[in-house]
């Protein structure tokens, strides 16, 4: 896209420390909450306060609310820059594309892309989770829309190239995790989102000074260089990517927290939000928020993304006053936040060994390394194009595919064994090799194939806390024991599931170039 013409891009490329403010739409424009939002925005405009950008949540917490485009139109009319949160939880890929076209019609081009919270409430019970795409595949879709999608000749109205749409998209990163397994995957997903052309990033909310310092420090010191050293794989190092990452606008996600909200966070009722133990006793919510604003500015973040702040002008003015006081006094960061044997200040990391071993608990799962190695050998022998028997197996697959009775028997036999071994869901588009031979379709509540969401806690799935270990935590343990963690950096994108292949043989689809592996080799 032409970023030179986008107002948000120009702001991010300026020298200004950017303050964005998150708004949560109500269930209707008829509610008092919506009127309070409009009233607050009007006051910000009249007082000429340093908020130029508002972001609008998309069914936050998995609960239904007003679609963010409605409030986005109001914000634009009132002279502000809206960023529309766009999640994957409620819409399949066709509905996503339709909504993107509608946003273009309303000239709402600034998007914050996320996988989304698992649905919690709906009409007559919980809504069905969709997650047809994840955040990374959605970023790739929008990147194609920015260039202009070429419609195949066989679709209605096809055979043409659609006009490019100038979206300006950002993404979320969560560098606040208690396990090395979780933290590693969050850095992997950050890099994959960057490769998918996310133009800016906002961190998940985290009350952990060292987490903020580690994340920005790794980028400053050279993201791919440090991971190449950590994983002992020089091929990961990409100087051009490191240079671009250093120029990437990154905002720190911060939350206004009083004692009541702190208790909610402590009980892990808000997936993905991490609190350092000694931050639960919030004495002055405004002062705590101002301290973190000062911290991230000193660390080199482009700005802050304020969440949960009451819609009261005096609260925001108090926050600005305290923040400016810290800027004037320039207190030392270590003294401002305190230090302990578990958190020696907020200096930038020297190496990834430090980062992944600092304050990280033991992962609550065994690696099952023997099973992984066995599957790896079998996969190479039967499902690798470099296998000595691959040509013969491809010919056999062609034969089976042309004989319906044999194909049906072959498919039933395949799924009998895969159901026993992997709880196979018969998707016909097998993702086992990308997730250390663990099935994301049966073992991830959101069916994610490009890495985990940001909502896991202590290794447990966001949807099944304290009951089910995140499948990507299990994958990390297998790959780490096998010294194969570098492999996940070799994959920039796993295409979404192809529903045409449902209940067909994934083995035949592999040999006949019908599954997602065909796109990975293009």
3-class secondary structure, 170: strand
**CB-count burial class (<10 Å; 0-12, 13-18, 19+) for 195:** middle
How far is Cα 354 from Cα 457, in angstroms, rounded to an integer?
21
| Token pair recorded at residue 405 | 């009775």
Full set of structural domains in the chain with CATH? 3-357 (3.20.20.220), 369-520 (no CATH)
- Report the first-to-last Cα separation within the chain, whole angstroms: 24
pLDDT digits (tens, 9 = 90+) for 23-33: 999 887 788 88
pLDDT at 353: 87
- The answer to whether residues 518 and 439 touch, using CB atoms and an 8 Å cutoff, is no
Above 70 in pLDDT, residue 503? yes
Q: How far is CA 438 from CA 174, 258, 296, 433, in A?
A: 23, 41, 38, 8
Nearest CA to 176 out of 253, 273, 302 is that of 273
- The answer to whether residues 30 and 280 touch, using CB atoms and an 8 Å cutoff, is no
Above 80 in pLDDT, residue 280? no
pLDDT digits (tens, 9 = 90+) for 227-252: 999 999 999 999 999 999 999 999 99
18 DSSP β-pair partners? 303
Above 50 in pLDDT, residue 343? no
pLDDT at 404: 96
pLDDT at 453: 92
How far is Cα 325 from Cα 286, in angstroms, rounded to an integer?
13
pLDDT digits (tens, 9 = 90+) for 416-461: 999 999 999 999 999 999 999 999 999 999 999 999 999 888 889 9
**CB-count burial class (<10 Å; 0-12, 13-18, 19+) for 104:** middle
Percent of the chain with pLDDT strictly greater than 70: 91
| Token pair recorded at residue 346 | 């907020």
- At 209, the pLDDT band (50, 70, 90 cuts) reads confident
Q: What are phi and psi of 150, to 5 degrees?
A: -90, 120
In the chain, what is the greatest distance between 2 CA atoms, to the nearest angstrom?
Answer: 80
pLDDT at 345: 55
Above 80 in pLDDT, residue 267? no
Place of tokens 């069905």: 128
3-class secondary structure, 443: helix
How far is Cα 113 from Cα 100, in angstroms, rounded to an integer?
12
How far is Cα 72 from Cα 248, in angstroms, rounded to an integer?
25
pLDDT digits (tens, 9 = 90+) for 102-148: 999 999 999 999 999 888 878 888 888 999 999 999 999 999 999 99
Q: What's the whole-number mean pLDDT along residues 59-66?
A: 83
The beta strand positions in 269-335, using DSSP E, are 274-275, 303-307
Which spans in 80-235 are helix H? Answer: 93-105, 135-147, 180-195, 209-221, 223-230
Above 80 in pLDDT, residue 358? no
């Amino acid at each position: 896209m032409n970023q030179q013409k986008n107002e948000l891009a120009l702001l991010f490329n300026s020298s200004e420390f950017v303050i964005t403010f998150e708004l949560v739409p109500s269930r209707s424009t008829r509610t008092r909450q919506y009127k309070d939002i409009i009233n607050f925005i009007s006051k910000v405009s009249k007082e000429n306060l340093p908020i130029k950008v508002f972001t609008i949540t998309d069914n936050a917490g998995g609960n239904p609310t007003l679609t963010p485009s409605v409030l986005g139109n109001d914000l634009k009319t009132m002279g502000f820059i809206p960023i529309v949160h766009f999640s994957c939880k409620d819409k399949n890929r066709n509905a996503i594309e339709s909504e993107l076209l509608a946003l273009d019609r309303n000239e709402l081009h600034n998007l914050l892309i996320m996988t989304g919270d698992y649905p919690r409430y709906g009409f007559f019970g919980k809504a069905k989770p969709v997650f047809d795409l994840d955040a990374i595949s959605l970023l790739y879709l929008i990147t194609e829309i920015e260039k202009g999608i070429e419609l195949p000749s066989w679709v209605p109205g096809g055979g043409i190239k659609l006009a490019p749409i100038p979206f300006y998209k950002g993404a979320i990163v969560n560098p606040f995790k208690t396990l090395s397994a979780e933290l590693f995957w969050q850095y992997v997903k950050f890099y994959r989102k960057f490769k998918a052309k996310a133009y800016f990033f906002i961190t998940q909310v985290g009350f952990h000074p060292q987490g903020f310092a580690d994340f920005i420090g790794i980028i400053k010191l050279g993201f791919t260089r440090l991971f190449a050293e950590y994983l002992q794989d020089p091929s990961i190092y990409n100087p051009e990517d490191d240079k671009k990452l250093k120029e990437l606008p990154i905002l720190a996600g911060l939350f206004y927290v009083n004692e009541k909200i702190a208790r909610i966070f402590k009980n892990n009722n808000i997936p993905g939000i991490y609190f350092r133990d000694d931050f639960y006793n919030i004495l002055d919510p405004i002062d705590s928020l101002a301290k973190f604003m000062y911290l991230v500015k000193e660390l080199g973040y482009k700005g802050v993304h304020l969440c949960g702040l009451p819609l009261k002008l005096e609260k925001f003015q108090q926050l600005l006053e305290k923040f400016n006081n810290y800027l004037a006094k320039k207190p030392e960061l270590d003294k401002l936040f305190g230090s302990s044997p578990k958190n020696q200040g907020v200096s930038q990391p020297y190496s990834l060994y430090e980062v992944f071993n600092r304050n990280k608990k033991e992962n609550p799962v065994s690696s099952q390394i023997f099973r992984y190695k066995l599957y790896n050998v079998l996969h190479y022998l039967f499902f690798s194009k470099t296998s000595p028997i691959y040509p013969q197996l491809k010919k056999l697959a062609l034969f089976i595919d042309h004989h319906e009775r044999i194909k049906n028997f072959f498919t039933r036999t395949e799924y009998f064994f895969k159901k026993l071994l992997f709880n196979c869901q018969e998707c016909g588009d097998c993702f086992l090799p990308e997730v250390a031979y663990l099935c994301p379709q049966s073992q991830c509540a959101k069916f994610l194939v490009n890495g985990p969401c940001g909502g896991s806690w202590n290794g447990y799935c966001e949807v099944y806390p304290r009951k089910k270990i995140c499948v990507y935590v299990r994958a990390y343990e297998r790959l780490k024991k096998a010294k194969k963690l570098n492999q996940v950096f070799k994959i920039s994108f796993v295409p979404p599931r192809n529903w045409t292949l449902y209940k067909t043989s994934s083995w035949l689809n592999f040999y006949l170039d019908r599954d997602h592996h065909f796109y990975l080799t293009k």
